[in-house]
Chains A and B, each alone.
Chain A
Amino acid sequence: MEEPSLATPDSPVARAVSAITSQPLDGAPLPGAASGGLDGVAYCDLLHAGLSWLDAHHDIVNALNVFPVPDGDTGTNMLLTMKSALQEISATHAATVGQAAKAAAHGALMGARGNSGVILSQILRGIARSLDDQLTLTGPRFAAALAEGSRIAYKGVNRPVEGTILTVVREAAAAAEEAAQQDPDLSFVVGQTVRAADVAVINTPKLLPVLAQAGKVDSGGKGLFFILEGMYRALRGETAAPVAAVSPPAAAAGAPARPAKGQREIPILVYGFDVQFLLEGRGLDVEAVRADITAMGDCPLVEGDANLIKVHIHVSNPGVPLGYAIGLGFVTDVIVENMDDMHIPAMRPGYDPVPPRFEPPIEPGKSAPVAEGEPTLAAIEGPGIIVVAPGKGLADVFRSLGAHIIVSGGQTMNPSTHDLYTAVQKLPADQVIILPNNSNVVMAAQQAQGLAEGKTVAVVPSKSVPQGISALLALNPHVDLARNIQTMTAALGHVQTGEVTIAVQDAFFDGIAVRAGDVIGLLNDRLTTKGADSNAVVEDLLGQMGAADLEIITLYYGQPVAADEAKALQARLRELFPNQEIEIVNGGQPFYHYIISAE
């Protein structure tokens, strides 16, 4: 039995491509072949390949964090953003590439986490705008779409910084446009794009001194490179599974290892299984098989003739399509991949293991459905306040100061645009203020602000918990929103922030050599000290803050610190700084021994 399309390809995209561009199974042109290029289903698989490749390398991307602090990792954030994009395509059954791109853009927008995730979602939005009513993806269309993606991404940033993902997407898009002029072949264009992206990533330290200082390339740019490379590999029919790490991890030592199967927490089944197989038989009814398979799940691809049918489908139970096919004929080349196992990145303890789920779209004008058992929020005097806070103690502090909804996360797991958008919709208030309390959450908050309908939403760009508290104290429920935003934003500068944590990787920064595991201190987001233990680092930081001239010093102690330890430190600091008020509060944040507020 001849297996026409199985000689090389082993990825769904390659099959689709080979089905379209090389020998059709029955000699007749298949959908998409007439105009040439990839249709919506194939585009979905192409993005899927990009996602899988990023997944295989996201530890490398995470290890590129410039600061050796446990914060929202770029690789993880981009991965979760891409997953959200894929999930949305799967749910929409897009036939054309324009529809698929639109779905991907919407999914990415909602699932965007961290600044690099937000920029990635903006790139996908530009791509969707460009592909709008296109049926298929070709080389020139890919180039034009990426150029629009670059344009939108630049527009979405207040002050674009070169040497970041922005530079990489711009130069990749330029290379794509040039390549498309030479040869319209999609695979060629994407290949040139990947090459340019690679060079652009390598050059990022030349453009951004902070990278050169840390001896690293830009993480967001690298993440984008992996997505593009994964797509290119799929177009060439190469397996999406990692053969070997293509580039050596920049700081593999600090990258967390994946928990071994059998010794980890079982991931929750959200995406289900990617099932692919060939069905051989005599007198097979392709239309009937397609209709039956399509009804079983998402991302269906059913092509072939009366003798051989190729099937691709995403389902929650692989037994269903397989059992069905076995009843019809001889089933071969079965590939079943658990997409949840594939996608869920290895997360450090403290991460929320549940990936973003999509709730039914909220109709404009209606408030979001309130989950059962969740108390309905009482009417609000003045603007509704949403804050992002890591840890229960800090959530209590914010609540006591008048916050209405606490979105957990911030320091480590960055909340998505969707998380914040849902909170906005849920609040029974016409005016809403969001305090992101982390520089890596500010952009997602601004996206949520742009999405809100029928409400006035403002973001006060607080970059730390102490800044958020300072801003919230300045809120006056009796004056208008514009006035509040003004005074709250001004209040951000009234407080200094110190943070004490453990370095997650080796680094050399501002003259301080840090090894993974060292206790380090950050003053206003800059690494300024390291020490033998957290107490010594706290004292250093207070010295750097000029604590002797300040009035109030508050230490929010986190999970690594016991209450007794914090009390002992308080007593010691009261001796060192007799004229200052020294307060300790159980913040409950993960990873960070202390968050210090000084004013």
Chain B
Amino acid sequence: MAQVKIVTDSSAFLPDPGQIARYGIEVLPLTVRVGEQKYGERIHVSDEPFLRKMAQDAKQVSVEAPSIGQVRRMFERLDLTADKIVCIHTSAAFNDVAVVVEQAAKSYAGRQRIVVLDTATTSIGLGLIVEAAAKAAAEDMALADVVRIVRGMIPHMYALFLSDSLEFLEAWGRLGSAQTFLGTMLGVKPLATMEDGDLLPVEKVRNYQRGVDKLHDFIIEFSRIEQMYLIQHELETEAAQLLERLELAFPGREFPVIGYGPSLAVHIGPKALGVIVYEGGR
């Protein structure tokens, strides 16, 4: 009996990129659009040209879900080797990929057992879940057990992002343009947290120093942190300051700093600092 096959999408960030080959993880590329040009997002690539373009004119860029045809072709291909598939995807509030995969999976209901899971997180949060699922599959665990592991991790994943500008909140339709205009003039930097898969603006700050304070306060409230990653682009100094302060609270612990690609950039902007915490199962 073949192993459970793990599918994810390009917004995932795996702790070790080598795991993709080692565990045979299938990565569905999201579709990146820059002006008229479209290409598939590459996992673990921050895509500097995209981020630069975005900083110039955010309206020129977007990230879309793969087409249903694309997903069907993937299932056709996997049909030759796998009959049990767990598709683990980024939050539906960020990208429709889980919805498209779910639709495509319906056509294969008789031939393959496909379970589609929305992790309500993204980036390294999604990557940590995919890693755990892939390891379980490699140990020949049953599909139901792999699904149970994924579902068990989702409620313990937390995230907070400090973004340079309100502009990207506006892009999700959470703020009116007049508000964004004034807020941008005032140099307002929003903090947003992930809750039930949605990115919700919480507080706002007017300088990065205060933003670092807020991230720090958020982190030290956890009584237990199994894994934690900082996510950063163009805020190296602030990330270093945050790590320095965390050294006092968590002496000797290493927290990796990673970048992010287009699929997260369209939500937090090209200049941001965030944290994703996995507090561990109970």
* Chain A interfacial positions (CB closer than 8 Å to B): 396-397, 400-401, 469-470, 473-479, 487, 494, 551-552, 554, 581, 583, 585, 599
Contacts and interface: CB of A to CB of B under 8 A. Distances in A.
Given A552-B207, A599-B206, A473 B188 contact: yes
B205 interface: yes
B179 A400 contact: yes
A581 B179 CA distance: 19
Contact of A552 (B181, B200, B203, B206): B206
Given A478-B193, A478-B195, A581-B187, A397 B202 contact: no
Of all A-B residue pairs in the complex, the 6 with the closest CB atoms, nearest first, are A551-B207, A400-B182, A473-B204, A400-B179, A476-B202, A476-B203
Contacts, number: 54
Interface in B174-199: 178-179, 181-183, 185-188, 193, 195
Contacts of A583: 185-187
B187 A400 contact: no
Of A400, A469, A474, most buried by chain B (CB within 10 Å of CB) is A400
Interface in B204-218: 204-210
Contact of A400 (B178, B193, B206, B208): B178
Nearest to B188: A473
Contacts of B185: 583, 585
B210 A494 contact: yes
A551 B205 CA distance: 12
A397 B185 CA distance: 10
Contacts of B200: 478
B205 A473 contact: yes
Contact of A401 (B183, B193, B207, B208): B183
Contacts of A473: 188, 203-206
Contacts of A469: 186
Nearest to A488: B203
Contacts of A396: 178, 182
Given A400-B179, A478-B200, A478-B202, A599 B207 contact: yes
Given A473-B206, A475-B203, A487-B203, A552 B183 contact: no
Contact of A585 (B179, B186, B203, B209): B186
A474 B186 contact: no
Of A470, A552, A585, most buried by chain B (CB within 10 Å of CB) is A552
A479 B183 CA distance: 22
A487 B187 CA distance: 20
A393 to B, nearest CB: 9
Given A476-B202, A551-B208, A397 B195 contact: no
Interface string B48-89: 000000000000000000000000000000000000000000
Contacts of A474: 203-205
A554 B208 contact: no
B38 to A, nearest CB: 35
Of B178, B182, B188, most buried by chain A (CB within 10 Å of CB) is B182
Contacts of B203: 473-476, 487
16 contacts: A400-B179, A400-B183, A401-B179, A401-B182, A401-B183, A470-B206, A473-B205, A475-B203, A477-B202, A479-B202, A552-B206, A552-B207, A583-B186, A585-B185, A585-B186, A599-B207
Contacts of B188: 401, 473
A551 B188 CA distance: 12
Contact of B204 (A401, A552, A581, A599): A401
A2 B207 CA distance: 82
Nearest to B209: A551
A479 B188 CA distance: 20
B211 to A, nearest CB: 10
A552 B178 CA distance: 21
Contacts of A477: 202
Nearest to B204: A473
Given A475-B203, A476-B202, A478-B200, A397 B186 contact: yes
Nearest to B189: A473
Given A476-B202, A478-B195, 17 more contacts: A396-B182, A397-B186, A400-B181, A400-B183, A401-B179, A401-B182, A401-B188, A401-B204, A469-B186, A470-B206, A473-B206, A474-B205, A552-B187, A554-B186, A583-B186, A599-B206, A599-B207
Contacts of B208: 551
A270 to B, nearest CB: 37
Contacts of A487: 203
A206 to B, nearest CB: 44
Contacts of B209: 551
A551 B211 CA distance: 12
Nearest to A473: B204
Contacts of A476: 202-203
A397 B206 CA distance: 14
A558 B183 CA distance: 19
Contacts of B181: 400
A478 B192 CA distance: 11
A477 B204 CA distance: 11
Interface string B152-191: 0000000000000000000000000011011101111000
Interface string B228-266: 000000000000000000000000000000000000000
B191 to A, nearest CB: 8
B57 to A, nearest CB: 21
Nearest to B195: A478
Nearest to B191: A476
A473 B178 CA distance: 17
A476 B208 CA distance: 18
Contacts of B206: 470, 473, 551-552, 599
A477 B179 CA distance: 17
A52 to B, nearest CB: 46
A400 B193 CA distance: 20
A581 B186 CA distance: 9
A479 B187 CA distance: 24
Contacts of A400: 178-179, 181-183
Nearest to B166: A400
Nearest to B180: A400
